[in-house]
């Protein structure tokens, strides 16, 4: 059993006008075998959480801890975090002209495992992973994400997820820009990943993969069933609960959370 534990995390973004606090004390624990969904309006800090955990230099950790199996992730470099088992799927995957998908994937796999995969089996693994997400094998020879549609970029990230096989996946708005078919394909890839597991002494399933899924909308949660849902508002978790919380958000939206946050801010200002 592995655990990704976030404790009282405060994060600021570095701007030309100075540091601006985005996360204001986040506590969150994701165990292996679990899918946690983070939902919230624009600007609530969801993506900041993802990039801070992954080690983006734009974000400054001012206090708090993030550990993976008790190991301090925040003291690790970005590549060390990846080798420790962390994977980030970005909301806007970047293009890398001149670097083929095939070379990118093999280089990443080599860096994480510490040795190059055997070429014959690797080519077969890549083709199989691409076939699962309806990407033609010819994509392996194209530059990374260059000229890819939004859906192709997201499906390529699922290929990475399958081949690199991390312990924890942070998926930042993986459903952004996807049509119905692409949403289903990407969701199936996430479910394949999260369903991986071992067996306990009695032969029962024991999940070994954790997922932190960041999204605005509930539509992806029709395909990927979360164990927990967390509502982000103004850099904090405003509420958390089971899958039924996502259904309530679909019906009610975020207005009541935003109103409560404004009232709390006004009350705090009046008390100063």
pLDDT digits (tens, 9 = 90+) for 140-161: 999 999 999 999 999 999 999 9
CB 130 within 8 A of CB 139: yes
Q: What is the pLDDT of residue 138?
A: 92
Q: What are the structural domains, with CATH classification, of the chain?
A: 3-96+160-271 (3.40.50.300)
Q: What is the pLDDT of residue 271?
A: 75
Q: What is the pLDDT of residue 203?
A: 53
What are the backbone dihedrals phi and psi of residue 182, each rounded to the nearest 5 degrees, phi first? -65, -35
Q: What is the pLDDT of residue 198?
A: 54
Q: Other CB atoms closer than 10 Å to residue 190's CB: what's the count?
A: 24
Which H or E run contains 229? strand 228-233
Minimal CA–CA distance to 153: which of 138, 175, 169, 132? Answer: 175
Write out the two tokens for 33. Answer: 């075998």
Q: What is the pLDDT of residue 197?
A: 64
Q: What is the pLDDT of residue 272?
A: 65
Give the angle subtended at the CA of 237 by the CAs of 214 and 230, to the nearest 5°.
45
Quick check: 254 pLDDT over 80? yes
Q: What is the pLDDT of residue 261?
A: 75
Q: What is the pLDDT of residue 262?
A: 80
CB 168 within 8 A of CB 211: yes
Q: What is the pLDDT of residue 259?
A: 85
Q: What is the pLDDT of residue 217?
A: 85
- Cα distances from 23 to residues 76, 138, 181, in angstroms, run 20, 42, 34
Q: Which of 46-50, 110-114, 217-221, 263-267 is predicted least confidently?
A: 263-267
Percent of residues, the chain, with pLDDT higher than 70: 95
Quick check: 265 pLDDT over 80? no
What rounded mean pLDDT belongs to the chain?
91
Q: What is the pLDDT of residue 120?
A: 86
- Cα distances from 173 to residues 37, 94, 102, 128, 206, in angstroms, run 10, 14, 25, 25, 27
Q: Is 229 left (phi over 0), alpha (psi -120 to 50) or beta?
A: beta
Q: What is the pLDDT of residue 207?
A: 62
Quick check: 185 pLDDT over 60? yes
Q: Look at strands 59-68 and 96-100 and give their pairing.
A: unpaired
pLDDT band of 176, cuts 50, 70, 90: confident
CB 145 within 8 A of CB 96: yes
The 10s digit of each residue's pLDDT in 8-33 is 999 999 888 888 999 999 999 999 99
The 10s digit of each residue's pLDDT in 82-138 is 999 999 999 889 999 999 999 999 999 999 999 999 988 999 999 999 999 999 999
Q: What is the pLDDT of residue 5?
A: 96
């Amino acid at each position: 059993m592995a655990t990704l534990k976030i404790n009282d995390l405060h994060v600021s973004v570095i701007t030309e006008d100075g540091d601006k606090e985005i996360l204001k004390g986040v506590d969150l624990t994701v165990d292996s075998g679990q899918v946690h969904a983070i939902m919230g309006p624009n600007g609530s800090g969801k993506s900041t959480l993802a990039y801070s955990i992954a080690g983006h230099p734009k974000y400054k950790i001012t206090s708090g801890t993030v550990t993976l199996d008790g190991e301090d992730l925040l003291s690790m470099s970005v590549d060390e975090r990846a080798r420790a088992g962390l994977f980030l799927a970005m909301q806007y995957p970047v293009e890398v002209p001149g670097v083929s998908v095939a070379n990118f994937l093999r280089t990443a796999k080599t860096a994480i495992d510490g040795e190059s995969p055997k070429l014959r089996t690797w080519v077969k693994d890549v083709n199989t992973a691409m076939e699962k997400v309806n990407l033609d094998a010819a994509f392996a020879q194209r530059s990374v994400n260059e000229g890819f549609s939004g859906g192709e970029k997201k499906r390529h990230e699922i290929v990475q997820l399958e081949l690199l096989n991390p312990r924890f996946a942070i998926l930042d708005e993986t459903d952004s820009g996807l049509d119905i078919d692409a949403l289903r394909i990407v969701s199936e890839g996430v479910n394949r990943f999260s369903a991986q597991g071992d067996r306990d002494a009695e032969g029962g399933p024991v999940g070994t993969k954790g997922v932190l899924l960041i999204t605005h909308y509930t539509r992806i949660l029709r395909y990927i069933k979360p164990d927990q849902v967390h509502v982000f508002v103004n850099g904090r978790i405003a509420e958390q609960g089971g899958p039924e919380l996502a259904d309530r958000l679909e019906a009610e939206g975020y207005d009541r959370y935003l109103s409560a946050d404004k009232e709390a801010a006004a009350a705090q200002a009046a008390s100063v």
